[in-house]
């Protein structure tokens, strides 16, 4: 019992680093386009809550042998829209750095798209058997995650932060590897340990890269730089 509980506790570490990285990116968005501040913070909060709920569900499963369906489902329901909001906010921030002023409401497109996918997932859950509804929400989360990573990496490249951009790419590779392990490989303690370590490394790289990019933009557009 000790090893499954230890692995479940380890599951909280990637959530911490992912949340930390998203918090740094939300602060970056606030500096680049203040209109998107709340949208970025909402994305950060949704992803963090979804990740914590899933980790808590895994811990309950390791201790009692039974998961908590509401908590495990929260990951899919919250993380997809959360990453979509964060990705949209970063894309708007990047547009600002390119001198492209976008006047339309920043909330409309990501919110409408998220609700469409959520309604599709609800329909699939009500009309079909299996986990097709999870696939729809997982697709939304992956699309939002890819948009977030590529927008953040692009912002890093604009400041010649090649290592940060490479770490963002490694984050995507790590996430893909973890998903591949979960889908294609029979689950046991060893595969779970490898998956946890890959996830931890990927999210730690994401957090460091996000901090580096956010710090660089803060240094370049802060009060001191602006008065030069």
pLDDT tens, 160-176? 999 999 999 999 999 99
Return the pLDDT at 191. Answer: 86
Angstrom CA distances, 10 to 96, 140, 154, stand at 38, 26, 31
Q: How far apart are CA 36 and CA 148, in angstroms?
A: 14
Return the pLDDT at 81. Answer: 96
Tokens of 56: 């808590």
Return the pLDDT at 227. Answer: 35
Return the pLDDT at 98. Answer: 84
Return the pLDDT at 223. Answer: 44
Return the pLDDT at 224. Answer: 39
pLDDT tens, 43-66? 999 999 999 999 999 898 888 877
Return the pLDDT at 203. Answer: 96
Low-confidence ranges of the chain (pLDDT < 50): 222-228
Return the pLDDT at 219. Answer: 59
Buried b (16+ CB within 10 A) or exposed e, 111-147: bebbeebbebbeebbeeeeeeebbebbbebbbbbbeb
pTM: 0.90
Q: What is the 3-state secondary structure (H, E, C) of 147-197?
A: HHHHHHHHHHHHCCCHHHHHHHHHHHHHHHHHHHHHHHCCCCHHHHHHHHH
């Amino acid at each position: 019992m000790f090893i499954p509980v230890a692995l479940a506790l380890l599951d909280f570490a990637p959530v911490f680093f992912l949340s930390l990285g998203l918090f740094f990116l939300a602060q970056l968005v606030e500096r680049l386009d203040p209109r998107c501040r709340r949208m970025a913070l909402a994305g950060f909060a949704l992803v963090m809550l979804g990740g914590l709920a899933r980790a808590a569900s895994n811990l309950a499963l390791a201790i009692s042998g039974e998961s908590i369906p509401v908590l495990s489902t929260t990951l899919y329901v919250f993380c997809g829209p959360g990453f979509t909001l964060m990705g949209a906010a970063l894309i708007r921030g990047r547009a600002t750095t390119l001198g492209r002023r976008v006047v339309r409401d920043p909330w409309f497109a990501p919110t409408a798209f998220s609700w469409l996918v959520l309604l599709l997932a609800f329909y699939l859950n009500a009309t079909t058997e299996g986990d097709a509804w999870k696939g729809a929400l997982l697709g939304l989360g992956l699309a939002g995650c890819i948009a977030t990573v590529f927008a953040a990496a692009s912002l890093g490249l604009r400041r010649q932060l090649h290592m940060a951009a490479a770490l963002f790419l490694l984050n995507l590779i790590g996430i893909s590897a973890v998903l591949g392990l979960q889908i294609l490989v029979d689950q046991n303690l060893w595969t779970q340990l490898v998956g946890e370590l890959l996830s931890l490394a990927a999210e730690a790289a994401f957090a460091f890269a996000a901090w580096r990019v956010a710090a660089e933009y803060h240094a370049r557009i802060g009060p001191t730089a602006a008065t030069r």
